[in-house]
Each structure stands twice: as C-alpha cells, then as structure tokens.
Amino acid sequence: MYPGIHAAANPDKPALIMAGSGERLTYRELDDRSLRLANLLRSAGLAKGTVVALLTDNSVHAYEVYWAAVRSGMYLCAVNNHLQAAEVAYIVNDSGASALVVSAALEDLAEEVAGQVPGVRLRMAYGGEVRGYEDYEQALAAASTEVPAVQPRGADLLYSSGTTGRPKGIKPRLPDREVHEPGDTLAEVLRAMYGFGEDTVYLSPAPVYHAAPLRYCASVHMLGGTVVMMERFDAEGALRAIERHGVTHSQWVPTMFIRMLKLEPAIRRRYDLSSHRVAVHAAAPCPIEVKRQMIEWWGPILREYYAATEGIGMTMIDSVQWLEKPGSVGVAVLGEVRICDDEGRVLPPGEVGTIYFERDEILFEYLGDPDQTRSVKHDAHENWATMSDLGYLDEDGYLFLTDRKAFVIISGGVNIYPQEVENVLAPHPAILDVAVFGVPDDEMGESVKAVVQPAPGAEPGPKLEQEILAYARERVAHYKAPRSVDFLDELPRTPTGKLVKGKLKARYARP
C-alpha cells in the first residue's frame, strides 16, 4: 500500500497535519508532490538502490521526500538534525547518498554540510533559500507528473543513535515487489495489534528522523489514516493536540510520560482525551510506577513494544497483561525470544542472559561492516540476532528487560542492573531525570553512582542527595542503592529519549 491508493479514493483527506501551525498535506498533494520528486530524482540519474539523504525538522515535506524515495526503489536516509556538521557529513558520505534534501529551518547546519559531501550530485532545500542548494518548490514545479510504469518498493536506511562510537548504517534488504503491492509487515502488525486503519488519527510527538516515528507515520499513510505531527514535544501541547484533533492513536517514550505526569493536576484535567484509544510506548524501559500512574490517568490504553531499528524481532504487551506482569515488555509477536548465557547456551525461565530473536532469516546488514553484522548473530545459529540487551523470560514466556550488557555494574563480584535503580528513582518528585551507572571503586571494583537532573523548584545539594539515597535504600537492596548522587542541569539524551550514558561514564573514568 502507498498514499496513491488513498489519493484516488479520498483525495482531500489530510495525510498529515502539523499540530502547532495547523499546516496540512492532503493525500492528493502527498501523491502528486512525491511523484514529481520521484521523477526528478530519476531524471538526475538516481536509480533503484540509490540513497536519498534527508536533513529536516518535523515538517510536512519530510513525507514527500520519504514517499518519493520509497516509490522509486530507493533508500531514504533520515539524518539526526541535532548532530554537528561533520557528523551529518559522515552519515551522508558513509551511506553513499546521491541526493540530499534539507529544511531551511536548519540553514546554518545545511550550509556547513554542503561543502563536506562531494559525492552528492543533487542538493535541494525546502521552506526557504539555503546557499548551495536548489530551490525545492521550483524543482518540483518543473518536474514530470507521469506515473512510471514500474514503481519498485524502497526502504529506509537509518543510522544507530551513536550513543557509543560512530553511528552504524542499518541497511535492510529491498523488498521484491512494487510499492502498491501488499507485504508491509509493520503496517499489518499495527492493523492487527492496535487497530490502525483509515479512521486512525495518529499523534507523533518525536523527531521524524528516528526509526519509530518515521516508520509508524509511514504505516499510517499506507493504511489511509491521518498523522498529526508535533513540531517538537511539549507536555501540555501534546494533551492539547489529542483534544483538538481527536487523536485515536499515539506513540511516546517514557521521558514524555514523566514530563506529562509532572504537570499540575488542573492542567492534566483541562483536556478532553476521550478520543484516545491506543497509546503506544517504547524506545526505553518505562519505570513501573510511572506506567502505573499513566494507566490510572489514561485508562488501560497503553501498549508497549520492545524492538530495534534493525528489525530483528518484536514483543508486545497491553495494559491488562502488564498489570498482571508489571515490568514486562510482553511476548514475542515477530520472531521467537531466546535467552542465552555468555557461551551461547539457552537459559531456563527466570535466568538473566543476552536476548536473541530467532527469525526465519536476518534481513539487514550494517553498511560496510560485515564484522559488525556477524557480531550480532549467535555463534551457532545464523538466524538468531541480538542488540546486546539483557533480560529473562518468565514461565509464561513474558520478557523482562534488565539492562544493556555494556552498562551492567559489577560490584564486589555481584551484577547490578542500573535500569532497575533508575526505575525506582524516576518517580521521586524532586527528580526530573536520572542516570545510574558504575564508577571505579578501589575496594569493590565498581560502585553505584546516580546523576540527577532536579525537577523545577528542587534545590540540588547535600540535603537532596541524602533524601534520594534514603529513598533508594527503602526500595531496593542496599547493595544496589547509589552510594552518591551528583546533580546536573540536564542529562545527555538523544531527542528520541535514549540516555547517552557513555558520556556520563566517561566523566568518572579514571585517567
């Protein structure tokens, strides 16, 4: 499925609405403009398998570029707009992109990048003039509107968040079908599991370059619904958007829940959320108390999934199941979960190990890095893959996450999982954000450190530190509780909510 089908049936229906400005893109416009851009890309010599890079803010034009690439059998490489110019240029060059489309809202960054991407043969900018780029609107106006006889299905080519080291390009195998033919796994999962369809009004509050927002919005277009995209996340603004647009489905990361829960009760009660049927969340583990409060507020509409950009597998859990299994991320809906020890042996229920997904076939590779591609596969099973997360299965097959293997604290020979401690601390009223990790300790090897971003009105200092330490010791075993707390104005997170814990750990590493 692709928007052209819905453009024929419902041409004036909004495919995308910007939550703040109210700017709209109908299915007719999305089909016409993506077709023009697709023809323009072909006329510039780009062929199936070519990469089109996109550097944008949250904008209606992002999906014109997305669908132009996808209906041409090309790869769409959406680039994190919070990177420095050299980092953006690295991704554009590493991906082998032949075209680069940018938003004028990122003018300074785009101009700096222009001189660092010699392999790009076509550069265009929308939303205003950018030096070194062609005018997007003029180019589209002059492009052909003839529908090609063949429109092969393309895909996205996204880069990992780069929380440790250089980001890696995740290149899926191109589907062997045309864009109008069925077979889009994610769209069908969303239809079956969450009830996505033509009546869906989907709120997307996260940056569009991230895998989940990019793919979920595209799936809404495949199914004929309407996307409501926030220019940027704002806690009260999200509630306002749900009421104003009659949002039926949405997707969040746990930090957004925490920000909304910290709104004044009067603000939370101000908005009519009765249209809201499904609130999906993922990207990072959600503290148990935070999720419990969200279910009490919004009702049992929360649906959680665990997956990765690489598409190796997926688990899901609804609110009713979660209340019976607090902390679980659900049962497998794509692939089969295997928990293995460091030697690759499958572990029984209840034992923590590395999480693998077994699939019929692994359909991605890390671009230009066969060693990295091999490293995520099980030594004895070519079709088992892992993202190096740790967890365990219970007797009923429900998956529980513990942490990333790289962040496990080993103190006195005992494994401590920082995520467990972060989940305990996050609901504290004086804590806006928190990270827990290991720091060098002469006696124990490592000790537990917490770094906290205080909530507005909270006064950082020794008194608050002692309050937080006591709070933790009341809720977890003393050996897991932080030994000390530091305070920062802001913790390093990606715009998609992932904590860049490596940057914090580096501050405390010994010379």
Confidence of residue 483 (pLDDT cuts 50, 70, 90): very high
Asked whether residue 241 is assigned to any structural domain, the reply reads no
Position 55, amino acid: L
Of 148, 175, 202, which marks where a domain is finished? 175
Please give the residue range of the domain that contains residue 157. 21-175
Query: Are the beta carbons of 51 and 39 closer than 8 angstroms?
Result: no
Per-residue model confidence (pLDDT) at position 164: 44
SS3 per residue for 251-263: EECHHHHHHHHCC
| Same domain assignment for residues 26 and 128 | yes
Q: How far apart are CA 227 and CA 65, in angstroms?
A: 16
Asked whether residue 228 is assigned to any structural domain, the reply reads no
CATH of the domain at 370: 2.30.38.10
Q: Is the pLDDT of residue 158 over 60?
A: yes
Asked whether residue 464 is assigned to any structural domain, the reply reads yes
Asked whether residue 98 is assigned to any structural domain, the reply reads yes
| Same domain assignment for residues 54 and 69 | yes
Residue 84 CB partners (closer than 8 Å, separation 6+): none
| Same domain assignment for residues 127 and 83 | yes
| Same domain assignment for residues 29 and 169 | yes
How many structural domains comprise the chain?
3
| Same domain assignment for residues 167 and 30 | yes
List, in sequence order, the alpha helices (H) in 159-247: 185-194, 211-223, 235-245
Q: What is the DSSP string of 292-320?
A: HHHHHHH-TTEEEEE--TT---EEEEEHH
| Same domain assignment for residues 167 and 69 | yes
The percent of residues above 70 in pLDDT, for the chain, comes to 97
Query: Are the beta carbons of 317 and 329 closer than 8 angstroms?
Result: yes
Q: Which residues pair with 493 in a beta bridge?
A: 499
Q: 231-287 pLDDT, tens per residue?
A: 999 999 999 999 999 999 999 988 899 889 989 999 999 999 999 999 999 977 788
Q: How far apart are CA 141 and CA 293, in angstroms?
A: 51
Q: How far apart are CA 301 and CA 294, in angstroms?
A: 9
CATH of the domain at 87: 3.40.50.980
Per-residue model confidence (pLDDT) at position 495: 64
Q: Which residues pair with 445 in a beta bridge?
A: 441
> Which residue is listed with tokens 């669908």?
67
Per-residue model confidence (pLDDT) at position 163: 42
Asked whether residue 35 is assigned to any structural domain, the reply reads yes
Asked whether residue 78 is assigned to any structural domain, the reply reads yes
Of 175, 202, 237, which marks where a domain is finished? 175
| Same domain assignment for residues 96 and 109 | yes
CATH of the domain at 468: 3.30.300.30
Dihedral angle over CA of 97, 103, 107, 108, nearest 10: -50
Query: Are the beta carbons of 399 and 391 closer than 8 angstroms?
Result: yes
Asked whether residue 262 is assigned to any structural domain, the reply reads no
Q: 312-354 pLDDT, tens per residue?
A: 999 999 999 999 999 999 999 999 999 999 899 999 999 999 9
Confidence of residue 366 (pLDDT cuts 50, 70, 90): very high
| Same domain assignment for residues 432 and 486 | yes
| Same domain assignment for residues 425 and 371 | no
In 3D, which of 351, 332, 422, 343 has the Cα closest to residue 391? 351
Query: Are the beta carbons of 268 and 262 closer than 8 angstroms?
Result: no
| Same domain assignment for residues 479 and 353 | no
Q: 410-421 pLDDT, tens per residue?
A: 786 677 878 889
| Same domain assignment for residues 72 and 103 | yes
Per-residue model confidence (pLDDT) at position 160: 80
Asked whether residue 480 is assigned to any structural domain, the reply reads yes
| Same domain assignment for residues 487 and 388 | no
Confidence of residue 127 (pLDDT cuts 50, 70, 90): very high
Of 374, 406, 438, which marks where a domain is finished? 406
Looking at every residue in the chain, the average pLDDT score rounds to 92
Query: Are the beta carbons of 389 and 419 closer than 8 angstroms?
Result: no
Q: 203-230 pLDDT, tens per residue?
A: 999 999 999 999 999 999 999 999 999 9
